[in-house]
């Protein structure tokens, strides 16, 4: 059996490591692996060489993502065993699997309870269908367009899967950003991503209390913000930055609702990733300001924003990009050709 049980760089809870270790070193490990493979892929693999090419970690994670609750796992495993020629023998293997994996699911239960409180709020959001679509795509790597299927998927379970895939907020934010950029409607789904982040952020705050803040969060925008507040209307500055980052603000109720999801600092950080130089940044602002209602008002804001960032634009941008690349390296290989219809 292959000894690698976790991916390079992975940090797993000790309880999960213990579960994987028990399965790997069980005397029936080969049969356990065959049954788990059959459970995940719905096909029987008798070639031990191919089985050895799989890490136990990836196999267990595949099981947990396919069957988010222990009840679902038990039910499906029982059914799958019943289809085998040696069902009596594999029923015993199934019991070994269930007795060991039950602890992993028990650990997840606390997270699920916490996630359910956030899910209640999201379920009441007018964008719940898109929220679930993005969560499914982010967690399970496929696009679900069937509204009946989407309605049946538990938001709480999706949030639980999301927090398993991205253990920290510093992992989640760039991860979502990377995924949103692969979609046909990145502007709309950037807003959906912000709704999700807004709801799960308090939970991550509790999980990571006392931890070192992300490099992106250490970017000092105090002087920039002070300059903006001193010389222009901060709300209008937000409208202009929002237009530069997402879509041209049209002053409709939905636009105002979307704008509330963003802080001035957040929009400034995101705007730093849009273009490479301060001159390009200025041209972007001019272009977007000219498309807004009362363009002359927003054109007056352009030099204020440009001046406030000019001396530190390159440094701030490089610091932010380094942080984003470091946090999102696991998602960088997501197929850019994947363009699901929305």
Q: How far apart are CA 61 and CA 237, in angstroms?
A: 44
Residues 170-225: tens digit of each pLDDT: 778 888 888 998 888 887 888 888 888 888 877 665 444 433 334 374 456 777 88
pLDDT score for 100: 83
| Domain chopping of the chain, boundaries | 14-106, 112-213, 215-311
Contact 308, 267 (CB under 8 A): no
For 299-327, letters b (16+ CB in 10 Å) and e give eebbebbbebbeebbeebbebbeebbeeb
Band of residue 14 on the pLDDT scale cut at 50, 70, 90: low
pLDDT score for 63: 84
Contact 182, 338 (CB under 8 A): yes
Band of residue 8 on the pLDDT scale cut at 50, 70, 90: very low
Over range 283-292, report the average pLDDT: 94
Q: Which two tokens stand for residue 319?
A: 């610091």
Residues 99-150: tens digit of each pLDDT: 888 777 765 544 544 555 667 778 888 889 999 999 999 988 888 888 888 8
Q: How far apart are CA 220 and CA 308, in angstroms?
A: 13
Rounded to 5 degrees, φ, ψ at 233 are -80, 120
Band of residue 240 on the pLDDT scale cut at 50, 70, 90: very high
* Sign, Cα dihedral of 180, 181, 183, 185: positive
CA dihedral 282, 288, 290, 292 (to 10 degrees): -140
**Number of C-alpha atoms within 13 angstroms, CB side, residue 271?**
29
Q: How far apart are CA 316 and CA 309, in angstroms?
A: 9
Contact 238, 267 (CB under 8 A): yes
Q: Is the pTM of this model over 0.85?
A: no
More confident residue, 254 or 333: 254
CB burial of residue 46 (10 Å; 0-12, 13-18, 19+): exposed
pLDDT score for 53: 74
The CA radius of gyration of the chain, in Å to the nearest whole number, is 24
Q: Nearest CA to 20 among 140, 109, 139, 103? A: 103
39, 82, 180 from 135: Cα distances, Å: 23, 33, 11
Q: Nearest CA to 249 among 302, 293, 285? A: 293
CA dihedral 101, 105, 108, 114 (to 10 degrees): 180
User: Coil, helix or strand for 127?
Assistant: coil
Q: How far apart are CA 71 and CA 110, in angstroms?
A: 16
């Amino acid at each position: 059996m292959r000894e690698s049980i976790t991916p390079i760089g992975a940090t797993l809870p000790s309880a999960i490591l213990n579960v994987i270790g028990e399965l790997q070193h069980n005397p029936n490990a080969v049969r356990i692996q065959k049954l788990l493979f059959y459970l995940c892929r719905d096909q029987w693999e008798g070639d031990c060489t191919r089985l050895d090419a799989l890490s136990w970690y990836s196999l267990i994670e595949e099981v947990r993502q396919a069957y988010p609750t222990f009840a679902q796992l038990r039910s499906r495993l029982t059914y799958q065993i019943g289809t085998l020629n040696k069902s009596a023998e594999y029923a015993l293997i199934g019991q070994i699997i269930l007795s060991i994996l039950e602890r992993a699911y028990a650990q997840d239960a606390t997270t699920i309870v916490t996630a359910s409180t956030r899910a209640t709020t999201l379920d009441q959001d007018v964008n719940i269908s898109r929220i679930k679509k993005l969560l499914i795509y982010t967690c399970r790597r496929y696009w679900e367009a069937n509204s009946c299927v989407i309605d049946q998927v538990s938001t709480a379970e999706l949030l639980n899967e999301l927090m398993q895939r991205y253990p920290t907020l510093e992992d989640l934010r760039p991860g979502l950003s990377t995924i949103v950029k692969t979609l046909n409607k990145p502007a709309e789904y950037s807003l959906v991503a912000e709704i999700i982040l807004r709801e799960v952020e308090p939970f991550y705050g509790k999980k990571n209390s006392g931890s070192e803040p992300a490099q992106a969060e250490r970017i000092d925008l105090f002087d920039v913000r002070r300059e903006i507040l001193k010389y222009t209307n901060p709300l209008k500055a937000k409208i202009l930055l929002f237009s530069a980052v997402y879509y041209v603000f049209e002053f409709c109720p939905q636009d105002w609702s979307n704008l509330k999801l963003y802080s001035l600092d957040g929009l400034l950080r995101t705007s730093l990733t849009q273009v490479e130089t301060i001159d390009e940044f200025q041209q972007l602002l001019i272009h977007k300001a000219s498309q807004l209602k009362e363009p002359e008002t927003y054109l007056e804001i352009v030099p204020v924003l440009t001046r406030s960032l000019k001396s530190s634009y390159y440094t701030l941008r490089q610091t932010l990009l380094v942080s984003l690349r470091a946090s999102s390296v696991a998602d960088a290989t997501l197929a850019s050709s994947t363009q699901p219809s929305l």
